[in-house]
Structure 1
Amino acid sequence: MSGKRHLWRWRSNPLRRREDVLEAWIVLAVWAVVVLVGAVVAPLAFRTAEHRFAEQRAQRHPVRAVLMADAPQGVAAQWSADGRVQDTVRWVAPDGTPRTGHTLVDPSLPRGTTVHLWQDDRGQLVTTAPTDRAEGRIEAGLLAAGAALVAAAPVLGAGAFARARLDRRRLALWDREWDLVGPR
């Protein structure tokens, strides 16, 4: 019974108008395009994100660095959202050359403290550890779903716009017909 109710625009009906049939075709076309776009965009976005996370895992390496000075404390500890402060560290790059740079560390650490950081293949410090495989799959799945929604939004918007225009047309036709029938 509910299947017939959803497809009422497809059946012969003396009250059915051309706009009703057009709306049914528009809804069918919009959903077909949304499914098609989702089937193309989501796997593509998933593979792209997963590939990027795999590149991060391959290019980022843990490194031990040594603080060159006492880490500041007090007002300076408000430099980052998590309360860490910027300080100078020294580490050894993958090619064996010593490097010096700045990174965020816990406040009030003494000079000479060893901190664990991440560097890329060029020996530059990176702010975050690479995404592990399980977390990467979850993030890739969320990114794929988001990409499919973003790609489908214009199609859904165009369908909603077309249906709104059809509703206005139906209301105008009903007004004209009521002007003919109403006075009787």
Structure 2
Amino acid sequence: MAGVWRWRRNPLRRRTDLVEAWLALVALLLMVFAAPAAGVLCGSLTDTSLRRTAAEQHRHRHPTEAVVVRRAGQRAPAAEPDGSPGRAIHTMVVANWTAQDGSSHSGTLAAPLMSPPPGSRFPIWTDDQGRPVPRPMAPAAADTHAVFSGICAAAASAGLVEALRRLTVWRLIRRRYERLDRAWARYGPDWGRTGAGS
């Protein structure tokens, strides 16, 4: 606002000065109002989508217990299968489990135990067909992802507005210098010469 007001009636004002001041004001308003609105919109859309996904997962994933038959020769993954933070100790085992529909299954699983003896039990999640799956997404995790995506969208919007403002100002300055160079080429060599009209 100060830039626009300062250049309003200044006799030294160039047209590019006024454009630059208005551009700064518009960019500021977009960063203050449009960027947060984009963040809220993105966050709410992400939250809706993730809550729908979490509800779907809770409908089709069921907790059960697996019973260790023996240790497997494979190496265990370093992180939780659902991508949760932190490192958990896992040992690959051959195990049996019963699905939600009562069918028996067997396979190699990562047991959250250091050295599980045969007969040890540990919780797992299975889908409707009895296949092992990661545990369903918690509502708190969906909220966290939604907030993070909203913040990222707002920051990206503000960054895009500022990048466009800087690019436009850079182009204005280049045009200003080009006009100055043309004026210098036209009048500069005659400055100070007698009878050159300068």
TM over 0.5: same fold? yes
Aligned sequence identity (%): 31
Correspondence for 1:122: 129
Name the TM-score, length of structure 1 as normaliser: 0.71
Is 1:141 the equivalent of 2:147? yes
Between the aligned partners of 2:21 and 2:54, the Cα distance in structure 1 is 43
Secondary structure of residue in 2 paired with 1:67: strand
Aligned AA for 1:123? G
Aligned AA for 1:144? G
Between the aligned partners of 1:59 and 1:152, the Cα distance in structure 2 is 40
Between the aligned partners of 2:10 and 2:55, the Cα distance in structure 1 is 58
Between the aligned partners of 1:10 and 1:34, the Cα distance in structure 2 is 27
Moved more, 82-91 or 24-33: 24-33
Q: Residue 39 and residue 21 in structure 1: after superposition, are their counterparts in 2 closer, same or farther (change >3 A)?
A: farther
Secondary structure of residue in 2 paired with 1:69: strand
CA displacement at 1:84 relative to structure 2: 2.1
Spell out the pairing of 1:1-184 with structure 2 (5 A cutoff): 4=2, 7-8=4-5, 11-27=8-24, 28=26, 31=30, 34=35, 37-70=38-71, 79-80=77-78, 82=87, 83-105=89-111, 106-127=113-134, 129-150=135-156, 154-175=160-181
Correspondence for 2:82: none
- Could you list the runs of 5+ residues in structure 1 that have no partner in the other structure? none
| Residues 67 and 97 in structure 2, CA contact (< 8 A), matched pair in contact too | yes
CA-atom RMSD in angstroms: 3.4
Q: Residue 53 and residue 170 in structure 1: after superposition, are their counterparts in 2 closer, same or farther (change >3 A)?
A: farther
Between the aligned partners of 1:178 and 1:67, the Cα distance in structure 2 is 87
Between the aligned partners of 2:125 and 2:8, the Cα distance in structure 1 is 65
- Which protein has the larger Cα radius of gyration, Structure 1 or Structure 2? 2
Secondary structure of residue in 2 paired with 1:89: strand
Q: Residue 138 and residue 20 in structure 1: after superposition, are their counterparts in 2 closer, same or farther (change >3 A)?
A: same
The CA deviation string for residues 76-102 of structure 1, in whole angstroms up to 9 with x for no partner, is 657535442322221111221111222
Between the aligned partners of 1:53 and 1:135, the Cα distance in structure 2 is 9
| Residues 37 and 152 in structure 1, CA contact (< 8 A), matched pair in contact too | no
Between the aligned partners of 2:57 and 2:163, the Cα distance in structure 1 is 36
CA displacement at 1:181 relative to structure 2: 7.3
- Could you list the runs of 5+ residues in structure 2 that have no partner in the other structure? 80-86, 193-198
